[in-house]
Structure 1
Amino acid sequence: MTETVIFDPLVPWAIVAVLAALSLVVVALSAWRGGAGWWLRGLAAVALIAALSGPSLQREDREGLSDIVIAVIDESASQRIAGRAEQSAEALDRLEAEVAALGNTELRVVRMGDGAEDAGSLLMTALAEAMAEEPAGRIAGAVLISDGRLHDIDRAPDLPAPLHLLLTGQAEDWDRRLEITSAPAFAILGEETQIRLKVELQGAVPEGQGGEVPLEISVDGGPARSFTVPANEELELPLTLPHGGRNVVQFHVPAPETELTDRNNSAVVTINGVRDRLRVLLVSGEPHPGERTWRNLLKSDASVDLVHFTILRPPEKQDGVPVSELSLIAFPTRELFLDKVDEFDLIIFDRYQRRGILPSLYLENVRNYVEAGGALLIAAGPDFASAASLYRSPLGDILPAAPTSRIIEQAFRPELTEIGRRHPVTEGLSGAGPAEGEADWGRWLRQIELVATGGQVAMTGAEGGPLLVLDRVGEGRVALLGSDQAWLWSRGFEGGGPQLELLRRLAHWTMKEPELEEEALTATAQGQEMTITRRTLSGAAGDVTLEAPDGTVSLVPLEEVSPGRFQATVTGPEIGLYRLTEGDEETVIALGPSAPREFERTVASGETLAPAIESTGGGIRRIEDGLPELRAVREGRPAAGRGWIGITPRQAFVTADITAHPLVPAWVFLLLSALLAVGAWLREGRR
């Protein structure tokens, strides 16, 4: 219980002040004139003013409140390395015991994890939110148990009590960090592109670990190449992409045993490889309606450089025209088929037959070009079934089907085979119909009877014979289309069909575009969710082995979503680099940055928090040096010393009841004033 004197005037304070001033003037005048009772008049005025001011005695019944200490426990990713979680648990146990020993003090524990969308450690945000839930008058202090690596120091709250940091980690900690400072999103195949990177050393780097460090580089999860690069220097690394489409380039710095963590030793860059110019050689045996289809397809792409070789006048035609007038410009066959054949991305033979224009040596060179990684596409017409067929040339060694010399002159509707429904060249072609039904395409009118000798038959035609056969030869690819009637689709005959899409896919598959690979394992990411896709020509796909950034391995079952395509959606538990493997296929994907913000600085330090802590009188103490005691200190005094940290008791309370009683009844003041006034009159009258 506490007692205080309060005033509750009977009239406004302004009137009391005026009366007091008038009384003072009257008393002063009486004294100046020598009145013997002036002092009695003054006392009477004081008694009257005291009565008007209403003095009272107020009694409060107060209930004391306990002080509150806020403890913020950092449980972000960087706190889960090198035994820091155990240090944090030990420090919290000690803090709970110390707070309990103080008495009249409560501990509020707040646990903080990783920030959303790679925001890092939001330590100050967690502290501010915890303070907002408690009365400011009861907060006696705050303790942070963390490695000191936070990313919101600008949100530090105005703390009315000491702030302390119990620092995890070890003084001898050190770390390497691989940082990609710049990388292009696109690069031209065959040309060097530049990637800038830096290997940064942090902390107490031991002798022998500085200077130069090893660096490993791999593409699409393939074999890694090793280099030695200087540390703490920004490097410019030249890189030539091996293929078009998505190239996943992984950089990795091996971690010594004494390094703090290897979570920031890897980085992934995804670069899309684009071809500057596609060089295509189209050899047409004779003019026909389908020739324009090929030409329109290739010329419609501005990135294609087309060289078109058409035989308008066969050598066997004898009409007496001088040889010098057979062509305006001599066609450079030797230069194209011997000297520069390797410069083409694709060679197409459209209804071509041997007539002595291209010697066997030239065709043999084309075969060698395919086996070394080139692309060959043959659109066969009646010429392929003749004695002058390309099959009876050196190219026959690499073709996936042999002609029987029979030409089927009847209408038929192309259909996808079981393999064709799974092969990326023909998978999902518009109008292909359901798995058990017929394709909703227009009919073709002629087909060369073929006998498949290898590869995959993607489409069948008349009498169920092979129509489209695809095969890999050495490092290259070969596609054989057993009809010259594809142009009927582009003309809309009987509804037409996906002629341009089919021919485009054929051309791009032979040129090894990644999105048309028959066997592939890919993954795409959106936030922390990844979609895994396995494309295969077999009827089933096994579980995908998923290796997380922390090294844990799990199996992900796949479900068939379309013929030859299996998918699964997985939510990654943490930010970082994931490795996926299924059979012989392997790929990598990064969820968020491959080196999260939380691992940009991993060596524990209180440098960032020091200004905020010093402004409150608090201190920074390393847990490895021993856990400090908790003491109560007066406000304004230093709150940290050797082996101890302090909190400021706030002595907060809540008022349960308030009563007020007049000090003296008003009539007593009035009577006293009257008696004093009478006394002053009697004294002056007696005089």
Structure 2
Amino acid sequence: MTRQVIFDPMLPWAFIAILAGVALALCLLAAWRRLPGWWLRALAVGVLALALADPSLQTEEREPLSDILLIVVDESASQHLSDRPAQSAAALEGVLEEAARDGLDTRVARVSDSDGDEGTLAMGALGDMLSEVPRDRVAGAVIISDGQVHDVAQAPDLPAPLHLLRTGRAGDWDRRLVVSNAPAFAILDEEFTITLRIEDQGDVPPGMGDAAEILLAVDGGQPRAYRIPVGVDLELPVVLPHGGRNVLEFSVPEAEGELTARNNDAVIQINGVRDRLRVLLVSGEPHPGQRTWRNLLKADAAVDLVHFTILRPPGKQDGVPVGELSLIAFPTRELFSEKIDEFDLIIFDRYQRRGILPAIYFENVRDYVAQGGGLLVAAGPDFATADSLYRSEIAEVLPAAPTAIVIDTPFLPAISATGEKHPVTEGLPADYGTDGDPWGRWFRQVQLEAKDGAQVVMTGEGEEPLLILDRVGNGRVALLGSDHAWLWDRGVEGGGPQAELLRRVAHWLMQEPELEEEALVASASGQEITVTRRTLGDAPGPVAVTAPDGSERVMTLEREAPGRFVGRIAGAEQGLWRFSEGERNAVIGLGPAAPREFVETIAADDVLAPVIRAHRGGALAVEDGVPDLRAVREGRQAAGRGWIGWTPRNAYLTADLRVLSLVPAWMFLLLAAGLSTWAWLREGRR
């Protein structure tokens, strides 16, 4: 119970002050003129002013409230390293016991990994707790963490001391791989650099050396080992092996005693693009489909097309002067001998041997394919004659042999059973044609006999092979057994997906990874990983999955389409995921390979030091023991060796409040009247 005198004025204080001031001035004037009774009138005015102020006695019944200690427990990924979970549990238990001994009420918030790789948001949790309790009851705040907090800028304005109980050990050390510069895309066959560094943190044990081994694997393949200096930025020259997505995986073997290997890996996904696609198109004679080839290839500004057309065979005599057929001599020797390796794709369109290209040039084309080049043969009736390309040195790399039969029956091109699985023809759009036909018909086809191992992806009349694909050495070959693909481009009978088909064939020939028929591919969308296994064979086996934390499991893929088997991982944690099935491997980085929690893993006070200092708190290591709690006066330093302080707030709850006037109003009035009468009588006697 507390009592105090209060004033509850009947009029505003300013009005009372004005009245009292005027009365006081008149009394002073009377005193200056030596009028009798002036002091009695001054007392009467004072009594009236006091009556207007209404002095009262306030009696208050109070119930004291306990002070509150806010506790934030960091349970993010970095807090699961070494014995930090046990340290956190011991620190929390000790603080709760000390708080209970001192009669403190406690509020505990646990902070786990944030969404979006934002790190440890301990200050946000502290601010949320502060908004949920009365501010005048907060006596202190304690953060149990390794000190690596990532939202220090959002630290709330606490009315009490803030402390850090730091987990971790003084001898902790860690090694991490940092990639500071890597392009999103690069031009094939051109060298670029990736900047990386191996960095040691903490109390590095002696004998670790000034250099460390780093492994580089491309697309999950066999890694290659290099030895690079530690703590030095290294400019690593790289040339992409193929177009499309290239996954470069850098990893540093885990060293003995380091905190974690989660930050020893880095996955870089670089899109390989060709600066210019160089295509050599050799047309055996002018025909309606020739323009289609030119339009298709010239539609892409990135394609450098060299078109060689035989306008008149050497044996044809039509009286036209040679000078009117060609302005310059075509550089066949330069193209087919000296610079043939510079082409990404060679196309023979209705070409037959007429003595224009010598046998040595065909041998060069054959060797070009074996060494990794792409060859497409669009065959017409010429392919069934004695002058067929199959009768040249190129026959060794062609995927099928002609039977010398030309089929002139109209037919509808169809995708074979193998073609339904092959990425070149899988899912080709079928919204072409009229009268219920998905595509327009073709009217001529060369009968072919596919060689062993060749892939027949499209068929024609009587299910005869129409489009055949094959791998030869390091290169690839495609054979189209008809010269009527241009009918689709002209929209005959509704047309067909000619541009898409030929685009896929060309990209498959140039070995784009997206069109590999035997592949294991991993892709991510948000927090979901999709694993796709493409195959022309039977159902694949289970996929071995290695999570970022090193745990392993087995995934069974489900058939989604012919030749396509898919499995998904929902809610996947961020980091580097590895997948393997047989001899095929795939890697993908979900978010950064090393999440923000593993960028700085060594426990430290530096991050929170400015905030702790501003609130007169302290940072103590849990490995030295759980500190005591002590009450300290507001404004004093609240931490010392082995102890942390809290500030008593003396908060209370008002249970009852009574107000009683000290002097009744009538008594004030009677007193003022008496003083005024006395002054009048005194003045009258004078």
TM-score (norm 2): 0.91
* 1:407-486 matched pairs, under 5 angstroms: 407-431=406-430, 440-454=438-452, 455-486=454-485
Q: Is the 8 A contact 2:439 2:494 kept in 1?
A: yes
- Where does 1:108-187 land on structure 2 (aligned, <5 Å)? 108-187=107-186
**Equivalent AA in structure 1 for residue 23 of structure 2:** L
Alignment-derived partner of residue 606 in structure 2: 607
CA contact (8 A) 2:528 2:572 kept: no
**Amino acid in the other structure paired with 1:102:** D
**Alpha-carbon spacing, 1:3–1:465, altered in 2? closer, same or farther (3 Å):** same
Deviations 1:251-300, CA, capped at 9 Å, x for gaps: 22222122222222222221111112222222233332223322332233
1:515 matches 2:514: yes
Secondary structure at the counterpart of residue 646 of structure 1: strand
Q: Aligned partners of 2:14, 2:350: CA distance in 1, in Å?
A: 116
Residue 352 of structure 2 corresponds to residue 353 of structure 1: yes
Work out the CA distance in 1 between the residues paired with 2:300 and 2:14. Answer: 94
What are the superposed Cα offsets for residues 123-156 of structure 1, whole Å, 9 maximum, x if unpaired?
Answer: 2121111101111100000001111112222211
Q: Which residue of structure 2 aligns with residue 61 of structure 1?
A: 61
**Aligned residue in 1 for 2:254:** 255
Secondary structure of 2:115's match?
Answer: coil
1:202 lines up with 2:201 in the alignment: yes
Q: Distance in 2 between matches of 1:425 and 1:269?
A: 27
Please say if 1:91 is aligned against 2:104: no
Query: Kindly tell me: are residues 275 and 42 of structure 1, through their superposed partners in 2, closer, same or farther at Cα, counting changes over 3 Å?
Result: closer
1:632 aligns with 631
Aligned-residue identity in percent:
61
Whether contact under 8 Å (2:148, 2:607) holds in the other structure is yes
Amino acid at match of 1:70: L
Relative to structure 1, the CA distance from residue 23 to residue 472 in structure 2 (aligned partners, 3 Å threshold; closer, same or farther) is closer
SS at match of 1:137: helix
Give me the whole-angstrom Cα distance separating, in 1, the residues matched to 2:384 and 2:220.
45
1:156-555 correspondence to structure 2 within 5 Å: 156-209=155-208, 211-317=210-316, 329-431=328-430, 440-454=438-452, 455-555=454-554
How far does residue 668 in structure 1 lie from its aligned partner after superposition?
4.2
In the alignment, structure 2 segments of 5+ residues that lack a partner are none
Distance (Å, rounded) in 2 between the aligned partners of 1:326 and 1:614: 90
Deviations 1:626-676 (A, max 9, x none): 110111122222211111111111110111111112223344455556667
Per-residue deviation at 1:45?
A: 6.1
8 Å CA contact 1:442, 1:496 repeated in 2: yes
Distance 1:317 1:52 in 2: 131
Deviation of 1:677 after TM superposition, in Å, equals 7.2
Residues 225-274 of structure 1: per-residue CA shift (max 9 Å, x gap)? 22222233322221100001111112222221222222222222211111
Structure 2: how far apart are the matches of 1:432 and 1:25?
Answer: 108
Q: State the partner residue of 1:22.
A: 23
Residue by residue, what CA displacement relative to the aligned partner does 1:440-459 show, whole Å, maximum 9, x if unpaired?
A: 12222221111222211111
Distance 2:496 2:681 in 1: 132
Deviation at 1:301, TM superposition (A): 2.5
- Under a length normalisation based on structure 1, what TM-score does the superposition of the two structures give? 0.91
State the AA in 1 paired with 2:359: S
The aligned residue for residue 82 of structure 1 is 82
8 Å CA contact 2:529–2:572 kept in 1: the answer is: no
**1:590 is paired with a residue of what secondary structure?**
strand
Instruction: Name the aligned partner's letter for residue 459 of structure 2.
Output: T
Q: Is the counterpart of residue 101 in structure 1 residue 91 in structure 2? A: no
Q: Name the SS of the counterpart of 1:200 in structure 2.
A: strand
Q: Give the CA deviation at 1:583.
A: 3.3
Aligned to 1:362, the other structure's residue is in SS state helix
**1:451 partner letter:** E
Amino acid corresponding to residue 275 of structure 1 in structure 2: R
Where 1:418 maps in the other structure, the secondary structure is coil
1:683 Cα deviation (Å)? 9.7
Cα distance in 2 for residues equivalent to 1:670 and 1:315: 140
1:50 is displaced (CA, Å) by 4.2
Q: Which amino acid aligns with 1:62?
A: R
Query: Matched residue of 1:494: which SS?
Result: helix
Determine the C-alpha separation between the residues in 2 that align with 1:570 and 1:356. Answer: 60
Provide the secondary structure at the position in 1 that maps to 2:423. Answer: coil
CA distance in 1, matches of 2:467, 2:308: 24
**Secondary structure of 1:348 counterpart:** strand
Q: Is the 8 A contact 2:401 2:450 kept in 1?
A: yes
More displaced stretch, 534-543 vs 222-231: 534-543
Q: CA deviation at 1:94?
A: 0.9
The residue that corresponds to 2:617 in the other structure is 618
Note if contact 2:370-2:475 (Cα within 8 Å) is conserved in structure 1.
Answer: yes
Alpha carbons of structure 1 residues 54 and 322: separation in structure 2 relative to 1, 3 Å = closer
**Aligned residue type for 2:92:** L
RMSD of aligned residue pairs (Cα, Å): 3.1
Q: Does the Cα contact within 8 Å between 1:5 and 1:56 map onto a contact in 2? A: yes
